[in-house]
Amino acid sequence: MAEEKKKRGLLFCVCLGICPSFKDTNEYEVLNAIRREKLVDWVGVHPQLCSTDGDEYLKALLSNSNVGELYVAGCDPVMQKKMFRDAFDAAGFDRDKHIGIEVRNMKTEEVIETIKKLSRKEIKRCRKVLPGSYLAKCHPLSAESLRLCEKK
């Protein structure tokens, strides 16, 4: 049987929904914009990923999963790495497949652009590393995402 293609997911951690750092962001608008362009395979919202139940959520989501890459929009990526480390390890999820995106103190449009830019940057990086064969090998960037990015 053919191996299932790994998927890319984007979670938006809304920091309890009351953090002033997110007061100018409409998280649903952000996620819809990313979905519309099919830059990831799925999106989700969580109120506090760094809490104990946030750990449980990550473990449940990532254990034996087909998630090839997990983007998390929220606080500082370095903080994210530290806070999610145990949950990733418990789930057997490669920590390097987590890409944190700092989106605090931004307006909705800025958040959308930040996430899109990150996708484009990844494409450029992959091209550099894998010239000529990046489309086939550079998981998880899909040909569709690449075409969308090249139009911009």
Q: Smallest distance from the beta carbon of 33 to ligand SF4, in angstroms? A: 19
- Please state, in angstroms and rounded to a whole number, the distance separating the CA atoms of residues 128 and 84: 29
Q: Smallest distance from the beta carbon of 38 to ligand SF4, in angstroms? A: 25
In 10 A of CB 131, how many CB atoms?
8
Q: Which is nearer to ligand SF4, 14 or 149 (CB)?
A: 14
Q: Which is nearer to ligand SF4, 33 or 57 (CB)?
A: 57
Residue numbers of the site for ligand SF4 (CB under 6 A)? Answer: 13, 15, 48-50, 74-75, 83
- Please state, in angstroms and rounded to a whole number, the distance separating the CA atoms of residues 125 and 136: 15
Q: Smallest distance from the beta carbon of 72 to ligand SF4, in angstroms? A: 8
Q: Which is nearer to ligand SF4, 66 or 105 (CB)?
A: 105
In 10 A of CB 26, how many CB atoms?
15
Q: 9 near 71, Cβ under 8 Å?
A: yes
Q: Smallest distance from the beta carbon of 24 to ligand SF4, in angstroms? A: 15
Q: Tokens in use for 129? A: 């590393």
Q: Which is nearer to ligand SF4, 87 or 112 (CB)?
A: 87
Q: Smallest distance from the beta carbon of 137 to ligand SF4, in angstroms? A: 31
Q: Which is nearer to ligand SF4, 75 or 87 (CB)?
A: 75
φ/ψ (deg, to 5) at 143: -60, -35
